[in-house]
Amino acid sequence: MLQGKTVLVGVTGSIAAFKAAQLVSDLVKLHADVHVLMTKNATNFIHPITFETLTGHKCLTDTFDRNFEFEVEHISLAKKADALMIAPASANVIGKIAGGIADDMLTTTLLACTCPILISPAMNTRMYENAIVQENMEKCKAHGMTIIEPASGLLACKDEGKGKLPPVDVLIEALLREIRFEKDMKDLNVLVTAGATMESMDPVRFITNHSSGKMGFALARVAMQRGAKVTLIKANTSATVPSFVKTVNVKSARDMYEAVRAVSGSMDIIVKAAAVADYTPAEVAGEKMKKKDGELSIPLKRTTDILAYLGQNRRPGQLLCGFSMETENMLENSAEKLTKKNVDMIVANNVKVEGAGFGTETNVVTLITKGGAEELPIMSKDEVAGKIFDALLRIKEKKEDQQRQELKEEIEPKDE
């Protein structure tokens, strides 16, 4: 995910400094080129050799360190950095940053950086809530830096409250949001649906399917990382919900229809990746249905076709993408859905194909548009999500070019 990216990690004098080792290790696993800068106080909590072993680079603590080419180290690092993350960030260092003080390797490098800067405070709750510390963080925000909210819980001093360093996966997600992709979807409003709807039969039982929500979550995550403002409407899922997206929880197909209808008008791109039940029990029993001798029949009724509703009520310029999971005649059935439901693209896959089943980390899809079908090889779901948005942005650009041409023809005088 971070191949070719240079990430600077600043570690300050906080008991949470030991957690930075896991952060650095995970960044290295994502193929980032990681350099660690420590304050003198941080070395009292964790030894620089730990980071040198993990990164393969010297851990820098001295402002006047020079590399073998006699470059001033803090300047050379600042020039090639794609991001600087300070985790944990003590109240002391946050105050220095807010005041423009550069008296060690970390703060000197930070002032020379033009890349995104992320600060993850970690300290006692009373220190964190101190008005001066809050004012310093607001000042950092005003200068374009990102403050990652600390977690709440039992602190090292045995107090309970806000001030813990967030889990490493939260820090990684914040970093990926900043630098993983170019922001080619900046300011676009994107709606993604995900997960399996649950149709109640009685207070105990329900009808559902095997969808894990992983594909929908990958779509929401990638759109967010590419700069979009993402709303995720999710039904039942087993996957981890992505950070930095607005999440709306629903249960049934009717719930999802109402939630989608409420926000669809403001969306630029809608991707319907949820596995929505086509049928729901005609009546829901008020009490648990007791087991009896013989067969049991449950009358079902059709649910509202959400994708068809969106196709019938789309606003000009809006892009619609649906999913089609088939077990036979995949291309024919999906192409028919493209036209019938008035959408721009159908993402088709066959559940019987290896790597494309429920709950997997991969998918095998074919992108079907009016221009034809593009069959993709087996990929991670994040990679598939990227290809889907690449295709949608091409459609968007083509439509905008066509609109500009039509407008030009209307304005230009015609030959008599």
Q: Known catalytic residues?
A: 157
Q: What is the sign of the dihedral through the CA atoms of 338, 342, 347 and 350?
A: negative
Q: What angle do CA 56, 58, 62 make, to 5 degrees?
A: 165
> Pairing mode, if any, of strands 372-375 and 366-369?
antiparallel
Rounded Cα gap, residues 60 and 62, in angstroms: 6
The answer to whether 272 and 306 are in contact (CB under 8 A) is yes
Neighbouring C-alpha atoms within 13 Å toward the C-beta of 339: 8
With b for 16 or more beta-carbon neighbours within 10 A and e for fewer, the 167-202 pattern comes to: ebebbbbbbbbbbbbeeebeebbbbbbbbbbbbebb
Burial class of residue 309 in the structure, from the number of CB atoms within 10 Å of its CB (0-12 exposed, 13-18 middle, 19+ buried)? middle
In contact, 364 and 355? CB cutoff 8 Å: yes
| Residues 24-31: contacts with CB under 8 Å, at least 24 apart | 24/51, 24/54, 24/55, 25/54, 26/168, 26/169, 26/172, 27/2, 27/172, 27/175, 28/54, 28/55, 30/1, 30/2, 30/172, 31/1, 31/2, 31/3, 31/4
> How far is it, in rounded angstroms, from Cα 176 to Cα 147?
15
Neighbours of 326 (CB within 10 A): 16
Contact 100, 142 (CB under 8 A): no
**Residue 115 φ/ψ, nearest 5 degrees:** -85, 170
Measured in whole angstroms, the distance separating CA 404 from the mean position of its chain's CA atoms is 33
Beta strands in 289-330, from DSSP E residues, in sequence order: 300-302, 319-326
Distance CA 210, CA 63 (A): 56
Residue indicated by tokens 């494309």: 356
Measure the CA–CA gap between 270 and 398, rounded to whole angstroms: 18
